[in-house]
Structures are given as C-alpha cells and as structure tokens.
C-alpha cells in the first residue's frame, strides 16, 4: 500500500506548479534583489515585487503592507515583540488566548519577564473565544491583542471580524496568527479589522523557510522595532538577503489558492465529513474536539477513548497523522489546547489530528477509515482489564 499523508497542518507538499515557478531563481535568475544596479538584481527584484502583489491580493492587502520573513514563527515574534518595543512606555499590557500557537505564547512569556503584563483568555468547550470576556479583559493600558484565526490542532475558527471590531473600538492593535487559515478560508484583513497578520508558505503548498507579516499602513502607520538589524530591507522591518526562490514560491502558492480555494475547500470538507462519519459510525466512545460548525474544512481532531494516540500512530504504519502540533511533537504531555477545552486527560491522550489536503483522494479516506477502525478495536481489545 502506498503511504497516505494526512498531516497537512504540519506542512503541505509543494505544489508542482509552485516548484516550476521557483525553479529559474535557483540557477538562472540568481541575482540579489537588493542589487538593483544590474540586470541580475533587477530581475530578482521584479520577481519579489510580483510575489508581493500575489501575496497581498490573497488577503486583500496592499503590496507595500507585506513584509517577507522566514515563516509564521518569525512573523509572530516580529509582530508581538516589535510592537511592544515600539510603543514601550505608553502601554504595557497584552491580551491573548490560552490555545494560541507556542510562537505566540512563548513570545508573550518572554515579554512578561521584562515586566509586560499578559492576560491569557480561556475558551469555551468548543474552543471558541467568548467575545464578551475579551471585551472585559481590555483596559486602558492594553496595547496589543493576539488571537489565532484558526487553531492548528482542532481547526476551530475564531470570530475574527467581531474581535476586530472590539479591537478597533478599544483602540488596541489586533494581531492574528493566520498560518492555518490563509489559503484555506477567505481572509480579508481590511474587512476584519486586522492590523498585523502572520502566515507561511509551507502551510499552503509553498516551500518551507518563507512567510509573511502583513502590517497595516495606518495614519499614523503601525511601528515595529525589527528583530534583525543590518541593511534595512523590507521597509526597515526585516533585514537580510531576500529568499528570492522562496518568495516566488509563496507568491505562486497564494495565486493558486486565491483561484482554487472555493472548490478545493468544498471538496476537502466533503472528504473530512466522510472521514468523520466513517469513524464515528463504526466506533463507540469517540469525540470530535472543537466546534463542528466554525471549523477549517480540512481538519478533524478525534479523541478515541481507551487508547493512547502514540499507540495509534504506531499501529497506523504508512499513514501520516499526528497527535497534535508539530512544534510539540517531542513533548510527552497531552495537548494543552485540549486541556484548555476541558477535555479529561484520557481523551487528551487519545486524540489524533487528521489534516486533509489538496492531493488526498476519496479512496485514501476509505482506507484511513478502515485502518483506524481496525487499529482502535485491536488496541482496545489488547488493553488490560482494570
């Protein structure tokens, strides 16, 4: 049997069309985009600016509002730490959510060591933030609000437009980690009131090692103190030689997502529902984690009572799934996201994340259902009686 890949939240394969767009910029058009004095540099510069337009268009931004980075983790760090440093002395409080990605939570922890006050908001049992609770948490000293668009483990989509309205009313900067959402569901930074938005190429069929930070151009413009100094690239926000092939790949991936998102998302939602129904109809004591209404179309996170996720992964040889975030794959502890939802430890330990993608098929879904059901029954049968 061929291997089946259903871990598309961790990373996606590069679309062949993206790879072909990148290919010339490795060996033929290899110029430095900052070297505008000759044709090699100018060609690289033109490619970067073309990709900037493609990237901006997907999220309804202006090209000049896009800052290229190495990925969403760097974008999150730059947005949070850069804003706090830029507005230091004026406001000293951050508000975020307990289910955020570690690159957000750990950035907040680092800032807390220097005296910044951080409020971590809870979520409801379905994983969604209560906007009323958020509103009450914002004070006159609050500078910054960071809320993930869609969770990387349970796929739950937050009410981003409503959160953006609250941020605007309260006069706080609104940052959104949208690594899992961009290219999968519509994202409109203007309509949603987002000031800063992070995303990455390798979650939307582009290459690893390149991402972007949207920085809204306001009057006055949003200021960020850079994490990296040396050359003043990217409007002074991110110094360093630009990864031209990667940026071209990000731009092409964004163009494809913008064109194909609607039919692709509908197809993936159908496959996801077939996967969910196939499992739940054949197995008892299984729970879907997170809201089933406000959810990414390609995400399914299921807790299997009476089994350990790591045992399941070993049983499912040849099928790539995960027990949670790829950034925490070495941690023996059950998911902190599921803990925030109030899930008991047994169900947290038995949770598997299925992330469907562009290249999955209906036949693969049928095979995964068959293998999952067989594995769960075998593990439950072999479990010693209490």
CA atoms within 13 A on the CB side of 275: 30
The residue behind tokens 């039919």 is 263
Question: How far is the C-alpha of 58 from the C-alpha of 252, rounded, in Å?
Answer: 11
Cis ω before 50 (30° cut-off from 0): no
Beta-carbon contacts of residue 60 (< 8 Å; ≥ 6 apart): 187, 188, 189, 190, 191
DSSP assignment of 77-107, as one string?
HHHHHHHHHHTTTT--EEEEETTS-HHHHHH
Catalytic residue numbers read 327
Work out the burial of residue 2: count CB atoms within 10 Å of its CB; fewer than 13 is exposed, 13-18 middle, 19 or more buried: exposed
User: Is 174:195 a contact under the CB 8 Å cutoff?
Assistant: yes
Question: How far is the C-alpha of 148 from the C-alpha of 161, rounded, in Å?
Answer: 12
User: Is 153:123 a contact under the CB 8 Å cutoff?
Assistant: no
């Amino acid at each position: 049997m061929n291997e089946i890949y259903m871990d598309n939240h961790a990373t996606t394969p590069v679309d062949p069309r993206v790879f072909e767009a990148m290919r010339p910029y490795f060996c033929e058009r290899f110029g430095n985009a900052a070297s505008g004095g000759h044709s090699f540099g100018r060609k690289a510069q033109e490619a970067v600016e073309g990709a900037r337009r493609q990237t901006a268009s997907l999220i309804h931004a202006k090209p000049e509002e896009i800052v290229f980075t190495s990925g969403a983790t760097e974008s999150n760090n730059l947005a949070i730490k850069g804003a706090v440093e830029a507005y230091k002395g004026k406001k000293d409080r951050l508000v975020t959510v307990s289910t955020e990605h570690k690159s957000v939570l750990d950035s907040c922890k680092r800032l807390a060591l220097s005296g910044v006050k951080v409020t971590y908001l809870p979520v409801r049992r379905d994983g969604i933030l209560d906007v009323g609770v958020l509103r009450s948490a914002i004070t006159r000293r609050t500078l910054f609000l960071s809320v993930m668009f869609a969770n990387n483990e349970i796929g739950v989509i937050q009410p981003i437009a409503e959160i953006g309205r609250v941020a605007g009313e309260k006069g706080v900067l609104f940052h959104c980690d949208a690594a899992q959402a961009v290219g999968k569901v519509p994202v409109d930074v203007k309509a949603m009131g987002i000031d800063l938005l992070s995303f990455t190429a390798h979650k939307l069929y582009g290459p690893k090692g390149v991402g972007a930070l949207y920085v809204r151009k306001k009057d006055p413009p949003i200021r960020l103190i850079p994490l990296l100094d040396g050359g003043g690239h990217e409007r002074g926000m991110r110094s360093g030689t630009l990864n031209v092939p990667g940026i071209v790949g990000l731009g092409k991936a964004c163009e494809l997502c913008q064109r194909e998102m609607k039919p692709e998302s509908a197809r993936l939602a159908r496959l996801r529902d077939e996967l969910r129904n196939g499992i739940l109809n054949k197995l008892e004591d299984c729970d879907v984690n997170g809201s089933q209404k406000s959810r990414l179309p390609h995400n399914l996170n299921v807790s299997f009572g009476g089994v350990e996720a790591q045992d399941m992964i070993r049983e499912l040889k040849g099928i790539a799934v995960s027990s949670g975030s790829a950034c925490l794959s070495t941690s023996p502890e059950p998911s902190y996201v599921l803990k925030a939802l109030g899930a008991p430890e047994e169900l947290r330990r038995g949770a598997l994340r299925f992330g469907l993608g562009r290249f999955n098929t209906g036949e693969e879904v049928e095979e995964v259902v068959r293998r999952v059901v067989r594995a769960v029954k075998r593990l439950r049968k072999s479990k010693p009686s209490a």
